[in-house]
Each structure stands twice: as C-alpha cells, then as structure tokens.
Chain A
Amino acid sequence: MKISNIISRRNRILLRELVVTDFKLRYQGSVLGYVWSLLKPLMLFAIMYVVFVHFLRFGEGIPHFAVSLLLGLVLWTFFTEATNQGMQSIIARGDLLRKINFPKYIIVISSTISALINLVLNLIVVFIFMIFDGVDFGWTALIFPLTVLVIYAFSLGLAFFLAAVNIKYKDVSHLWEVFLQGLFYATPLIYPLQMVMEFGGQFAAQILMISPIAVLLQAARAQVVGHENVITADQLSSNPVFLAVPYVIIAVVILAATVYFKKSQGKFAEQV
C-alpha cells in the first residue's frame, strides 16, 4: 500500500470508475434519483427536529441548536454510511475479486468516497439552512474541512478493519449495527452536551467525550456555529491526557486497520 501505488494511473482510473458506478446505481430505479441524497437527510432532520426540539425541548435556550443538530446528523450519517458500506464492500465485489487481480483497498476507498460525495451534498443543504438561521461564521469555520478530513480518515480506518474481519466472520456486521445504535445515543448528537452536564455533571460529559466520534462531531459543530454554543472537549478539562485519548484511539485504529488489512488481503479472493 505504497502512496505511489494509490495514485498510480491504473488505480486512479479504476477508483474513478467504481465511484461513478456506485453513485449511478444507488438511486437507480427511484423516481427522484439523486434528489434522494438531499431529501433523505432533510426528512430525517425534520422528524428529529419536531421530536427533540418541539416535544422534548432539548437544546432550549441554546442558539442555533437546530442547525447544529442537522450538521451533527449529517456527519453521523456519513460515519455510519462509510463504515457500513466499507465493511460490506469487499464481499459485495466478491465476483470481481475472484476474476481479476487489482488492489483490494481501492474497493474500500471507492465505497467510502461514495459516502463522502453524499456528505458534501448534504453539507451544502446544511449551510443553506445555517445562512437562513443567521449563523455568524467565524474564522474557525475554515478548520471545519480539516475536521471532516479527520472524520473521513477515522471512518476509512474502521472500514478497512471491518471489511477484513467481515470476510472471515460475518457476525461483525450485526455487531457493528448494534454498536452504532448504542454509539448514536452515547454521542451528544440529538441532545446537547449542556443537558448531560446539567443532569449528570461534568464527569458524565467527560466520559462521553472519550469517544473519538463525539469529540470530532462537537469540534466540527463548534467550528461552524461557534464555541459559545457547542461544548468541546477542551472546555470540559485541560488535562492533556484526556484531550489526547480520542486522537490516540483514532491513530491506533487507522494503524492497526492498515496492518491487518494488508496482512489479510492476499486471501480475500479465496475467502470471499
């Protein structure tokens, strides 16, 4: 998996064609087609908005909580899409693997790029909402793409690992589904972290913020809607160990996944 290989001509061509195919096939046969990639998060957002903001009154008194919720949701959707599709990607392309030899990581990357394209489309909608909501973008908004990049790298790492394990043990796809459901509620996504601090105190909030995805989502939202409205890890504690743990987890996941994927990819064709 040398860098020079990843960007080699042949691999670039292949990656492009696989991504284009994925995207074409995704909404094929539906009347609205590509519109769904914008419509689906909008509808989900509408439901969440009504339930949590109007009925349960989460985030009351927090400026821009609604758009912040939408942004978090869009990023979360990307995280689940990238990891789920990445996990299934090798198996889904099994017929190809058995017949032609090409770098296996291209399959995983292409499936996560499909999710990334969706994310970009969704973000466009979110930013339109934000402008209507009167969000005052500060200079920190410029770091936002960098945070998205870290989320992508983390998702890709997980996708590599899950894809490799999934070929040996199909159970992992069920486990991951359950795990994601749990993580969804353990992430300050539909409820603000302020609410956790109110009911569970600082310590409860700190525990939630060990999760890399929680830290990244909070950071991303703070960068866009303002630090005064979203609580980030550094506002909870200045302990460098606490702040470093999520990023160490990310680094370990990416490293371990790369090593494991590289080690097991030679046998994918016969195991799949």
Chain B
Amino acid sequence: MSSVKDHKEKAIIVKDIHKSFKLPHEKGSGLKQAILNLARGNTKSGYDLQHVLKGISFEVEKGDFFGIVGRNGSGKSTLLKMLAGIYQPDSGSITTHGSLIPFIELGVGFNPELTGRENIFLNGALLGFSHKEMEAMYDEIVDFAELHDFMGQKLKNYSSGMQVRLAFSIAIRAKSDILVLDEVLAVGDEAFQKKCNNFFNEIKKDKQKTVILVTHSMDAVRRYCNKALLIEKGKIIAAGDPNEVADEYSKQFIATNTTSIKKKNRHGTGEVMYDKLVLKQDDEWLTLDFDIVNKSTSDYTDVTMGFDFCVNDEIVIGNDTRFMKEFKSGIAIEAGSKKHFTLKFPNNFGNHAFSLNTNITTGLGINVTDHMRPALTFDSKHVSYSDAWKVLSFPEIHEG
C-alpha cells in the first residue's frame, strides 16, 4: 500500500467520469414499449440518450471548501449525486477517502405525517445516528431550531421555514469527514442564513472537514470556498481560484436572452413598436435593452411603455412609464424614427421562471400599438432571497 501516502491529503479523486441518461420518447415505462421494441428488433429506439457529463476530472483535498457552480442543466447536480454515490458513472472512477454524508438536500426522508419529534429520529437514522444517540442530542437540536412548542405536531403543519430550521439543526450534527451540500443557502429567512453563515465559517476553519457545495450564489463561492469548479454542458470550463471561477460564471450570464417575438403573442395597432429586445443577467443587475420604432407617418409625444414580470402568468411586479417622473407626460418619437432604452433592475429576482409582458400605447394609454405577451421568458438565477421582493422596485431607465 505504498500509494496510500500519496493520497493521504486527498479527500476525493474524480477521474474522467461520463454519464448519460436514457430519456424515453413516450411517457411511462411499460411492457408494451419493451415488447414493441423487441418486435422491431431494436432495443434502443424507445430512448433519447442525453450525455450529461463528458469527462470530468478533478481532485479535492482534505479540508477544502470546494464549490461547484454552473447554470441549470450544466450537469453539476448529476455530478454531486455521483459524488454522493446516488448515481453510478457510466465510465471513469470516483475515489473518496473518509466517511461521506451523502446529503443532497436538507430534511431528507422527512415525512409530513410524522411529528417533528419522530422526524428528528428518522432523519437522524439516515445520518447514521442510533435512537439513543439522537435522544442525547434531542434537546440541543430543538433548542437550535427554536421549535420547542411544535415538536408534538405533525410536520405537515410546519411552515417551510420551520422545516428547514429543523432539518438544518439535525444536519449540522452529522459527524462525517466529507459533507456534500446542494443549494442549502437558497432557502430560509435572514436569521437562518446567518446560522448557515456561522456554520460554514466554522467548518471552513476545520481542516479535518471537507465540504462540497453546489450553489448558484457567487457570493457564497467567494465567501466560503477555497477552490471552485465551473461546469458548462457537462465539461469543466474553469477550475481553481474561487474568485476567478465566480467571474467566469458571471460572464456566462451576460446576454442570455434575445427575443424572437412570435406573431401569435403580439397584438396592437402597430404605429409604435418594440424592436430588438435583449435581456442580460449578471449578479447585480437584470438589464433590458430595446429600441422602439415609430412605423407610422405621424409624430407622437404621448407614448407610454408598460412592463409586467410574471411567474406562472401571475403578475409579480409591473410598472408603467406614466408613473415615472421624467416620462409622466409621455415619450416623444418622430415619424419613422427609432429610440433606444435601457432598463436596469436590481437582480433580486430569486430563482424563478419569469415571463415578461410589454406594451406600448399612444394617447397616454388609450391606444395599444404593440402588446407582447410574453415578450420573452427567462430563468432568474440570482439567489439572494433575503430581500427578494421588497427590493424589487421599479427600475432605472435611461434614454438613448
């Protein structure tokens, strides 16, 4: 065992792993499909092969706080699940040294029909704690979660914040060398985030513990991680210094959505219309760049524009240029001319699938000349929930 010495300080070694998923064409797995495929003499026709990870290699050293970042669908969660042993790689190898708590989410195994107390023991068992050990820790856990009065109630009567507090209080008792965490920072209120923060700072100092953290929060990567990895389309595109990786990640987000406006979503009389709507996202701002064009032969001085951000077709926030001081009496645009605008929103949109509806009117809202519903859709990525909705006030707008 001469190689033991070389790997002494390595916690995880990942060598060239590949992973594909079979996605069935038709919903449902059934005997019928299997028989049909067999009859056609063809065992693969029922599936699309999706290559999620394409040759990932990296090493994590003992004591590292290792961040894995990437956009939705980049393959980072699949990678994490492989590190945790939940998925098996198609090829390549993963070697771990030390005990690993395969925790992908907080509150794994929580059952809504059980009481808070019963759930503590169940969750503890998944972490490897016996009933006795949990009994010894029980008071500490309840204290930390601040849920004394609720332990006899069923979990389904807990608010989501309470569930997270309970889960987090149990999770931090886990005595393992390697912790694998996915997006734990994305939930909870400010007080909870503070507790997270303290906990992470503590393990960051602990040179015996290794943490693998998957997150969308570049803030978290910069604050806690000493190494990071950026994955895009199943490949590593940046690795090493967390600040550099975070910068690289933010770059990825610039100019993500350009509209290809569909005719069926567009209504209006057509005198003044939007042109070239582009949405950019970075950590701080969500920027909307667009032109408006006067396609008619008359000049207008009373043009207004409206913007509604929707989640599941419900307007979350909206505003209109009429309510802004500088545009109160309308925007002027000459016949045949074009004007460029930039709208900037503080990016506190959280993690949601948004659609943006836009409209232009003349006569201060009387005649709708262009209405796009939606003009574009996007997934907001910035994860900073603390003040998510209250800070989302209406934007700076710049003409020209």
- Chain A residues proximal to chain B, CB less than 8 Å: 9-10, 13-14, 16-18, 21, 24-25, 28, 96-102, 168-172, 266-267, 269-271
6 pairs, A vs B, C-beta closer than 8 Å = A14-B126, A18-B125, A100-B103, A100-B104, A267-B88, A269-B81
- Chain B residues proximal to chain A, CB less than 8 Å: 21, 28-32, 34, 81, 84-88, 102-105, 108-109, 111, 113-114, 118, 121-122, 124-126, 128-131
Residues of A within 8 A of B126 (CB): 14, 17, 96, 100, 102
Known A25-B111, A100-B109, A169-B34; contact A17-B88, beta-carbon cutoff 8 A: no
Assess the A17–B104 pair: CB atoms within 8 A.
Answer: no
Q: What is the minimal beta-carbon distance from B26 to any residue of chain A, in angstroms?
A: 13
Residues of B within 8 A of A271 (CB): 29
Residues of B within 8 A of A24 (CB): 114, 118
What separation, in Å, do the CA atoms of A168 and B29 have in the docked complex? 6
Q: Which residue of A lies closest to B129 (CB)?
A: A13
What separation, in Å, do the CA atoms of A171 and B28 have in the docked complex? 10
What separation, in Å, do the CA atoms of A169 and B130 have in the docked complex? 36
Q: What is the minimal beta-carbon distance from B176 to any residue of chain A, in angstroms?
A: 11
In-complex Cβ contact of B105 among A28, A99, A270 (8 A):
A99
Assess the A101–B128 pair: CB atoms within 8 A.
Answer: no
Assess the A25–B113 pair: CB atoms within 8 A.
Answer: yes
What separation, in Å, do the CA atoms of A18 and B21 have in the docked complex? 30
Known A21-B111, A24-B118, A101-B85; contact A169-B30, beta-carbon cutoff 8 A: yes
A99-B108, A100-B109 provided; 11 other pairs, C-beta below 8 A? A14-B126, A16-B131, A21-B122, A96-B108, A96-B109, A98-B104, A99-B86, A99-B105, A100-B103, A101-B85, A269-B87
Residues of B within 8 A of A17 (CB): 121-122, 124-126, 131
Residues of B within 8 A of A172 (CB): 31
Q: Is the interface of B mostly helix, strand, loop or mixed?
A: loop
What separation, in Å, do the CA atoms of A171 and B32 have in the docked complex? 9
In-complex Cβ contact of A100 among B29, B108, B124 (8 A):
B108
Q: What is the minimal beta-carbon distance from B132 to any residue of chain A, in angstroms?
A: 10
Residues of B within 8 A of A98 (CB): 81, 86, 104
Residues of B within 8 A of A270 (CB): 21, 87
Assess the B31–A21 pair: CB atoms within 8 A.
Answer: no
Q: Which residue of B lies closest to A268 (CB)?
A: B86
Assess the A100–B31 pair: CB atoms within 8 A.
Answer: no
Known A24-B114, A270-B21; contact A14-B125, beta-carbon cutoff 8 A: yes
Assess the B114–A25 pair: CB atoms within 8 A.
Answer: yes
Known A101-B84, A270-B87; contact A21-B128, beta-carbon cutoff 8 A: no
